[in-house]
Amino acid sequence: MTRDRSGDVIVVGSGVIGLTTAVVLAESGRRVRIWTREPAEGTTSAVAGALWWPYSVEPLELARAWALESLSVYEELAARPQETGVRMVEGVLGGSRLDEQGPWAAARLPGLRASTPEEYAGTGLWARLPLIDMPVQLRWLRERFLRAGGTVEVRAVADLAEAEAAAPVVVNCTGLGARELVPDPAVRPVRGQLVIVENPGVRNWLVSTDAGAGTTTYLFPQPDRLVLGGTTDEDEWSLTPDPAVAARIVEQCARFWPAVARVRVLEHRVGLRPVRSAVRLEREVRSGGGVLVHNYGHGGAGVTVAWGCARVAAGLAFG
How far is residue 314's CA from residue 318's CA, in Å, rounded to a whole number?
A: 7
> Is 301 annotated among the ligand-binding residues?
yes
Cα–Cα distances in angstroms (integers) from residue 298 to residues 18, 86, 102, 160, 195, in the given order: 12, 20, 21, 20, 23
> Is 120 annotated among the ligand-binding residues?
no
Question: In 10 A of CB 61, how many CB atoms?
Answer: 10
How far is residue 141's CA from residue 48's CA, in Å, rounded to a whole number?
A: 15
> Is 300 annotated among the ligand-binding residues?
yes
Q: Taking the CA atoms of the chain, what radius of gyration do you get in angstroms?
A: 20
Strand partners, 93: 125, 207
H helices of the chain, where?
16-27, 60-77, 81-84, 103-108, 134-147, 160-164, 178-181, 243-254, 302-318
> Is 218 annotated among the ligand-binding residues?
yes
**Through-space distance between the first and last CA atoms of the chain, rounded to whole angstroms:** 27
> Is 157 annotated among the ligand-binding residues?
yes
Q: Angle between the 16-27 and 302-318 helix axes, to the nearest 10 degrees?
A: 40
Residue 228 sits at the vertex; the CA angle it makes with 225 and 231, to the nearest 5 degrees, is 150
> Is 191 annotated among the ligand-binding residues?
no
> Is 45 annotated among the ligand-binding residues?
yes
SS3 state at 248: helix
> Is 302 annotated among the ligand-binding residues?
yes
Question: In 10 A of CB 212, how many CB atoms?
Answer: 7
Q: Are strands 225-229 and 215-222 parallel, antiparallel or unpaired?
A: antiparallel
| Burial per residue of 148-170, b for 16 or more beta-carbon CB atoms within 10 angstroms, e otherwise | bebebeeeebeebeebbeebbbb
8 A C-beta contact, residue 178 and residue 166: no
> Is 273 annotated among the ligand-binding residues?
yes
Q: Which residues are annotated as a binding site for D-dopa?
A: 218, 273, 300
Q: Which residues are annotated as a binding site for FAD?
A: 44-45, 157, 174, 299-304
Q: Which residues are annotated as a binding site?
A: 44-45, 157, 174, 218, 273, 299-304
